[in-house]
Amino acid sequence: MPATIHLDAHDQGDIERAAKILRAGGLVAFPTETVYGLGANALSAEAVARIFEAKQRPAWDPLIVHVPGVQELDPITEIPGELRSRVRALTDAFWPGPLTLLLPRAHVIQDVVTAGRSTVGVRVPSHPVAQALLRSAGVPIAAPSANRFGHVSPTTAQHVLDDLGGQIDAVLDGGPTLVGVESTVLDPAPHPMVLYRSGAVTAPMLAATAGVPVHVHAPVVQSTRPPESLPSPGVGMRHYAPDAEVILTGSTPQQLECEALRAVEAGGRVGILLPRDWPLEGADERLAIRPWGRWGDAEALASELFAALRGLESEGVSVMVCPLPEPGGGLMDAVRDRLLKAARPR
Ligand code: TXA
Ligand code: MG
């Protein structure tokens, strides 16, 4: 494949060019409000197969289908009557936005998209570039995060090129994404509803809107079951992970510093993620320091997390030390979840 084309999302002509590539069965990475997605025409099994190839993603891991509005939901899903009002309440409240709903799929959505499952993950992104691209493409777009499988999700076009440059047709550059962690994944059908991946739309928000309790699926349990037998296979594994070892510490500057110095003594090149409002007493010149959001500012910590991990990685560290937020509900739980997954042993 020729080099990946770098398109400018501020140029309407480039958005149309990206849409044309998608309609022709190509792969285009594009910004959403969460992270960059790697898009392909969801109605073409061949185009979708190319996503798996480019990312080296196993065939058992299903993709999320993106549509521009709730009107485009009908052709790709078959929602039973008793579920309709619940889905309606959720989509009214949170779409467009960072919520993926697992819904019974219609026949047009093929096995390659859902990994043979009876549900399809659907989301309506709110990012204006994603909206413009989806409208211009005129077909539903399957899109996982645009990283190589298992690596840290991309929040800039450069991150996409670092992982997939030369493997995909184009990247539509719309600048850094806002939320910074992937969408919340919810199965709205059971009682309680099941949340498989935490994100900016939180369990309390979902429960209050639907009037149904939410069970938060334990995200980081080590499983001996084959991934294809898990209810949401991609969300439980080592993921969002840089190439270096990740060590998580308690949530005080002293604990971070103590753990960082221990890692330095143990050898290897050590980097830390340092919240901007934290003092570092004995700054050691052997430490690579990457500033992160202010501690307690969940929005900033989420939006800067992946770029910070990738930044340390590009400095060539072999160990990253990072404070782990306490569980507290809200977006901080999504930051915690991604860090726990990044730190899991290979
Ligand atoms: O924010 C996001 O959701 C981004 C942007 C690009 O939209 N996309 C994203 O996709 O994070 P991906 O493929 O990296 O993560 C989707 C997760 C996977 O772990 C997958 O296993 C799960 O959602 N998933 C997708 N469809 C599913 C289904 N039908 N049943 C169960 N889990 C599903
Ligand atoms: Mg992903």
Mean pLDDT over each residue of the chain, to the nearest integer: 94
Locate the ligand 1 atom nearest the alpha carbon of residue 66 and give its number: 7
At residue 229, the pLDDT reads: 78
| pLDDT above 90: residue 240 | no
Q: Find the ligand nearest to 61 CA.
A: 1
Summarised one tens digit per residue, pLDDT across range 54-67 is 999 999 999 999 99
Cα atoms in the 13 Å half-sphere on the side-chain side of 63: 33
If you ran DSSP here, which 8-state letter would residue 99 be given?
A: E
pLDDT over 90 at 51, yes or no: yes
Q: Which alpha helices (DSSP H) does 56-196 contain, by range? A: 81-94, 111-114, 128-137, 157-164
Average pLDDT over residues 294-310: 97
Q: Left, alpha or beta for 337 (phi > 0: left; psi -120 to 50: alpha)?
A: alpha
Nearest Cα residue to atom 12 of ligand 1: 144
AA letter at 86: R
Q: Which atom of ligand 1 is nearest to the CA of 121?
A: 26
Contacts (Cβ under 8 Å, ≥6 apart) of 119: 102, 103, 104, 105, 187
The encoded tokens of residue 180 equal 């910074």
Say if CB 243 and CB 311 are below 8 A apart: no
Return the residue matching tokens 């003594």.
Answer: 265
Residue 109: Cβ-neighbour burial (10 angstroms; 0-12, 13-18, 19+): buried
pLDDT score, position 233: 80
CA 49 to chain centre: 20
228 confidence band (pLDDT: 50, 70, 90): confident
Q: In the numeric block, which tokens belong to residue 300?
A: 């900033």
* Residue whose CA lies nearest to ligand 1 atom number 13: 144
Token pair, residue 100, equals 């993926």
Segment (H or E) for 320: strand 319-323
Give nearest CA residue, ligand 1 atom 31: 232
Model confidence at 238, pLDDT cuts 50, 70, 90, reads low
* Digit-coded pLDDT (tens) for 193-210: 999 999 999 999 999 999
For residue 35, pLDDT beyond 60: yes
**C-alpha angle 239-311-245 in degrees, rounded to nearest 5:** 45
Residue nearest to atom 6 of ligand 1 (CA): 37
Å from CA of 345 to ligand 1 middle: 22
Stretch 9-38: mean pLDDT = 98
Pocket residues for ligand 1 (CB within 6 Å)? Answer: 32, 34-35, 37, 61-64, 98, 100, 102, 114, 117, 119-121, 123, 143-145, 182-183, 185, 232-235
Question: Which bound ligand lies closest to the C-alpha atom of 64?
Answer: 1
User: What number of other Cβ atoms are within 10 A of residue 88's Cβ?
Assistant: 13
Q: Say how far apart CA 163 and CA 157 lie, in whole Å.
A: 10
Ligand 2 center to 280 CA (angstroms) = 33
Task: From 149, 182, 196, 306, give the residue whose CB has the most ligand 1 atoms within 8 Å, as the site to mutate.
Answer: 182
Ligand nearest 181 Cα, by number? 1
**Could you tell me if residue 63 is left (phi over 0), alpha (psi between -120 and 50 degrees) or otherwise beta?**
beta
Token duo for residue 55: 């990312």
Q: In a 10 Å sphere around its CB, with 0-12 CB exposed, 13-18 middle and 19+ buried, how is residue 176 labelled? A: middle
Residue 346 CA to ligand 2 centre (angstroms): 17
Among 22, 185, 230, 240, the mutation site with the greatest number of ligand 1 atoms within 8 A of its Cβ is: 185
- For residue 78, count other CB atoms closer than 10 A to its CB: 14
Lowest mean pLDDT segment, chosen from 12-26, 268-282, 298-312: 268-282
Residue 222 has pLDDT above 70, yes or no: no
